[in-house]
Structure 1
């Protein structure tokens, strides 16, 4: 059987790290990674890495021609809501133009594309959402992701669009944080924190998301798929779950509203996903929150052992 040749963009990102880890475990895959900065993954052997800015479309095209991927996972993005609002030119270049360029290449060269999108394509008024629900972004980041989705679909390339929500977990790069690790580290240090009590999400374990990307590749899936956990929590409830699991002082967790931190208008209030399509067509099965915490604790210990060597 011919090996699948997978190009991962944004390999220094949270999902990119996990994809690198998972792909390297499969002898049927060959891997090429690219990111805007130097390779920060301590797992740096067994694959090709090229530093490349997504705005360099010519360089991206050359890399595709050289590596000749059978599949591309486009995880790179400008994901800061505030930066997307303040720099619309950069937002479009990184989030929309690169996706359209990749889709065009994929169509021409019969490459399968997996594109990572977001729950922020929705306005948060009617969640949880299915793939067929109407999109109505409330910020420039969500709009750019929706624009990219539409460019990919219009290209006619073979593409799986995976929307996801509030990704968390642990990777080897300690500089990369997320809601769960932030809460755990702050509470472990005895620091009081505030968490938003009036935004609801279905947080996604990064290992589940990476698995979903590889399921999409294995099945050459096409269309839009919702990938997250299957339980709706307020952001504050997630933080309280962290405190409970790691036996930390939950009285340190205070409440703040989205309005008090300027997020009432530019963040969806309640998203969450209906996962029926991903479960039926991809075989995707989300891991319950508590079970992911157990695995995260194991992964933290494994990384600590590696650091000691």
Structure 2
């Protein structure tokens, strides 16, 4: 018998990749949920249902009907500056939804995999292991940490997949990413300013989806770092992108973050150490160069 797996945020970048990889699964019967209508072009191999994750009634009703064995919770407010200015909406999407999911999972004996972020750290000690000490510098970071604490203190079976700077190509191309932005700018002969004082381990969306599936198959409990393996700053990412596509690096100006005004503070140096996910899950992410190559093939 196939296990039932429910994904929240299926219209989002990670949600799309999960549906893509799971829709022909021999192991899982797949239920995709998102707010509003299904925006994926492939409608085969899964069941879609509209779900408002800020509604307790909606979550309880949906989980009591489907009775999933596993939930992967990808839906969230991830715009860091928006979270700073719309705190109530951020809290409802990022924290209250997890509270409701925990209650519904408790009633249905469901394993809950929750997506979290490197922004729970202050960026003074990066890269981090799973045991790193959390100290967010933004409201977004605080909301994601609050959600983690709800899980840790719950009685359900849970896992947290923390990730960093996810990039990939969404089906409707609504989201840009550093690779697409640099490529497009340099092809248009545009000068761009790129920061050199923020460090991350950028994550290919397909790799993150693979990590989530590995956790779900094993119902592996606990916290896992699921990110890319190369610690880079955006300036390095931009020059690597220019090199790959044979574009003019002279158009890229190396600057520090102080020249940009952003509503929310960003941690300086995060990035993840992946030893646990590699050893316990068999997680194997691509390098950033392999990631660029992967996207280039998708664009082509």
Query: Shorter-chain TM-score: what band?
Result: over 0.9
Structure 1 CA distance for aligned equivalents of residues 2 and 134 of structure 2: 37
How much does 1:39 deviate?
1.8
Which segments of 5 or more consecutive residues in structure 2 lack a partner in the other structure? none
User: Hey, what does 1:224 align to over in structure 2?
Assistant: 223
TM-score by length of 2: 0.96
User: Hey, what does 1:209 align to over in structure 2?
Assistant: 208
User: Hey, what does 1:44 align to over in structure 2?
Assistant: 43
User: Hey, what does 1:134 align to over in structure 2?
Assistant: 133
User: Hey, what does 1:278 align to over in structure 2?
Assistant: 277
Structure 1 CA distance for aligned equivalents of residues 208 and 290 of structure 2: 15
Between 221-230 and 258-267, the greater mean CA deviation after superposition: 258-267
User: Hey, what does 1:307 align to over in structure 2?
Assistant: none
User: C-alpha deviations, 1:134-186, integer Å up to 9, x for none?
Assistant: 10000000100000000011112111101000001223221122222222222
Structure 2 CA distance for aligned equivalents of residues 27 and 265 of structure 1: 43
Structure 1 CA distance for aligned equivalents of residues 173 and 262 of structure 2: 27
Aligned residue for 2:39, secondary structure, equals coil
Preserved contact between residue 8 and residue 73 of structure 2 (Cα < 8 Å)? yes
2:160 is the alignment partner of 1:161: yes
Structure 1 CA distance for aligned equivalents of residues 159 and 193 of structure 2: 37
Preserved contact between residue 81 and residue 262 of structure 2 (Cα < 8 Å)? no
1:215/1:145 CA distance change after superposition, 3 Å: same
1:186/1:44 CA distance change after superposition, 3 Å: farther
Structure 2 CA distance for aligned equivalents of residues 148 and 97 of structure 1: 8
Aligned residue for 1:233, secondary structure, equals coil
Preserved contact between residue 68 and residue 108 of structure 2 (Cα < 8 Å)? no
Preserved contact between residue 24 and residue 45 of structure 2 (Cα < 8 Å)? no
How much does 1:263 deviate?
4.7
Structure 1 CA distance for aligned equivalents of residues 56 and 254 of structure 2: 44
User: Hey, what does 2:101 align to over in structure 1?
Assistant: 102
Preserved contact between residue 8 and residue 32 of structure 1 (Cα < 8 Å)? yes
Preserved contact between residue 32 and residue 49 of structure 2 (Cα < 8 Å)? yes
Aligned pairs for 1:71-150 (under 5 A) are: 71-150=70-149
Structure 1 CA distance for aligned equivalents of residues 260 and 33 of structure 2: 35
Which segments of 5 or more consecutive residues in structure 1 lack a partner in the other structure? 302-309
Between 280-289 and 169-178, the greater mean CA deviation after superposition: 169-178
Between 14-23 and 263-272, the greater mean CA deviation after superposition: 263-272
Aligned residue for 1:77, secondary structure, equals coil
Number of residue-to-residue matches in the alignment: 300
How much does 1:264 deviate?
9.8
Aligned residue for 2:84, secondary structure, equals helix
Aligned residue for 2:269, secondary structure, equals coil
Structure 2 CA distance for aligned equivalents of residues 270 and 259 of structure 1: 15
How much does 1:217 deviate?
0.6
How much does 1:28 deviate?
2.4
Aligned pairs for 1:180-259 (under 5 A) are: 180-259=179-258
Aligned residue for 2:107, secondary structure, equals helix
How much does 1:109 deviate?
1.5
1:101/1:265 CA distance change after superposition, 3 Å: closer
